[in-house]
Every structure is written in C-alpha cells, then in structure tokens.
Amino acid sequence: MIELKDFGIGFGDRTLLKDVDAWFNAATLTALIGRNGTGKSTLLRAVAGLNHNYSGTVLIGGTDISTAAPLKLSRLMAMVSTRRPRIPNMTCRAAVEAGRAPYTGWAGSLSAADRAIVDEAMEATSTAGFADRPLDSLSDGECQRVMIARAVAQDTPVILLDEPTSFLDLPGRYELCDLLAGLAHSGNKTIVFSTHELDIALDRADSVALIDPPGLLTMTPGEIVASGAVERLFNIKMTTR
C-alpha cells in the first residue's frame, strides 16, 4: 500500500498538490488522471523516490521512502517510465532479467530461483514468445509488455507506470489495462498508472485518483463520475448508459 501524509509538491514556483492525505490500496489498479500540467508525472516520480522536492511523508508498506536505502526501495517499488529503452542487441529476456538486480548481489549472477521468477513474469505478461528477440525489434506495445515483465520480475508490492498506454492503439490500451488489473488482483499488488485517457481510467481501473489542484480525490470510477469532478475539471458532459 502507498500512503501520502500531508503531502505537497510543486514545479518551479507553482504549487501542484498541498496538504494531501491519500491511500492507494493493495490488490487494486488505480488510474491517476488530471489535466495537463497538474502534476501526474511529478507525483509518480516523488512516490518512486526520483523527486525529493516534496513536503510531507510518502510511505510504501509502512516504510518512509525518504529514509529507505536504495536497495530497500528497489525491493518495495518498480517504476515503468514512458521512455522506450534503447540498448543495442539486448534481448527481451535480458531486459526482464534486469528486474532481478536488487536480489543478485554485486556479481549480478542469477540463481535458478531468479530464472524461474523471470520465466513466470514473462509468461504472466505474454512476452515469453519473443524472449530471444532484440528489444529494438519490438513494437511499442510489445516493448511496453517487456518493461512490465521486468517490473513483475522485480517482485515488488508496488508498481508505478507513467502513461503506459500513450503509444498504443485502442485495443492495445484496453489489453494492457486488463493485464495490469490481473497482475494487481492475482499478485496483491498496488499498481498505479497515469493516463490522459478518461475512457480507460473509468472503464478499467478499480480506483481513480483525480488531481483537483491542489487536492487529490481518490474514489471508485462510479463515485468520481457521480461527484461531478470529472465534468468540472475536464469541461465535458458525462453520460450514463
């Protein structure tokens, strides 16, 4: 579980979030939404320990990330960014194996147990079929699945993803969100992904975190729609079927 206590963050001289108390539960897929420039990526980077310019406290599984050693943090949280990795000649399997780095020691040697975890991660994400292909040969959707497989292999209770559906077609977006939901539910993981796509967030996520500057609303999709906050912030008319 992720917990924010009296959390605040800004960008330059702008306050994005202030005095936020929020929880992101285990076995739950949460979509983080908000208007452009309201701090979705900034918030994820803070929770990931990549942005230290925040106030308040961020807890992952009860551990304050500001005092956690890098190795401890890498066993608590995995991050999948929007950037596509460009590593010449790296196979997909080698990319997923990199997720075991927090457990392999200074030599970086994988044990039989590590290899079994990698196999399971690739099976769970439907990437085993192209394990030996170069990462650069994959489509955007396939590459995104490999990066998720690496995060699964890292075996953390929390996975954060920044705009994972950005470069996918519509069927690919829904398939990816269904994959993330399955991983959250079956693995008892807290999975949070940012997105601009309201249809995906409201149709596929268990929970929605809506940045309503300087606050953060966390509700079920139905509750967030009923609150009127989506219509107000995005200036759209929500219809029910």
**Token match 């209770």: residue?**
157
In a domain, 106, yes or no: yes
Q: Does 164 fall in a domain?
A: no
Strand, coil or helix: what is 30? strand
Evaluate whether residue 102 is within a structural domain: yes
- In a domain? residue 206: no
Domain encompassing residue 118: 86-155
Between CA 102 and CA 70 the distance in angstroms is 9
Instruction: Assess if residue 227 is contained within a domain.
Output: no
Residue pLDDT, tens place only, 185-214 = 999 999 999 999 999 999 999 999 999 999
Report yes or no on 46 lying in a domain. no
Distance CA(27)–CA(137), nearest Å, equals: 33
Q: Is residue 34 one of the residues assigned to a domain?
A: no
Predicted TM-score (pTM) of this structure: 0.94
C-alpha–C-alpha distance, residues 55 and 21, integer Å: 12
Whether 181 maps to a domain, the answer reads no
pLDDT value, residue 13: 86
What's the CA angle centered on 13, arms 12 and 15, to 5 degrees? 100
pLDDT per residue as tens digits for the range 33-78: 999 999 999 999 999 999 999 999 999 999 999 999 999 999 999 9
166 three-class SS: coil
Structural domains of the chain, count: 1
Tokens 């330059």 found at: 12
